[in-house]
Amino acid sequence: AERLADLRALAILDTPAEERFDAIVRLAQQLFDVPVAYIALIDADRQWFKAKCGIGVDQTGRAESFCGHAILERELMIVPDARLDPRFHDNPMVLGDPYVRFYAGHPLAGREGHNIGTLCLVDRRPR
């Protein structure tokens, strides 16, 4: 409840795209040479993309999100090959589009220090 209150206090969910966030994901995509980069905010039952490169949806369910796991960490979460990870091997995003193999997600904290989202890199090949 406190994490969600921290997220909602920012009043950022479902807001229009902003160049300052878009620039971050474009830079991450280029620097790390990945087809997908995004900033996800993790709500109660969904992950919503504030900024994204390489994916066409604005949100997905939290149940199938990698970011829902990453916000439980304090450090960078890396999944070298999602097909081999017991948490994700049968995930719809691994088995189908966007065919996630590699995932790296760093938690983003809100004003009260709760992890409210992630900055993520995704590749369709293991890394």
Q: Which two tokens stand for residue 119?
A: 């900055």
> Which ranges of the chain does DSSP label H, i.e. alpha helix?
2-9, 19-32, 67-70, 92-95
The CA-CA-CA angle for residues 88, 106, 41, to 5°, reads 80
Residue in the block written with tokens 């049968």: 90
- Model confidence over 49-81: pLDDT tens digits? 999 999 999 999 998 899 999 999 999 999 999
The whole-model pTM stands at: 0.94
How many whole angstroms separate alpha carbon 38 and alpha carbon 122?
Answer: 9
Our CA dihedral for 125, 31, 29, 11, rounded to 10 degrees, sits at: 130
Q: What is the pLDDT along the chain (127 residues), one digit of tens a residue?
A: 999 999 999 999 999 999 999 999 999 999 999 999 999 999 999 999 999 999 999 999 998 899 999 999 999 999 999 999 999 999 999 999 889 999 999 999 999 999 999 999 999 999 9
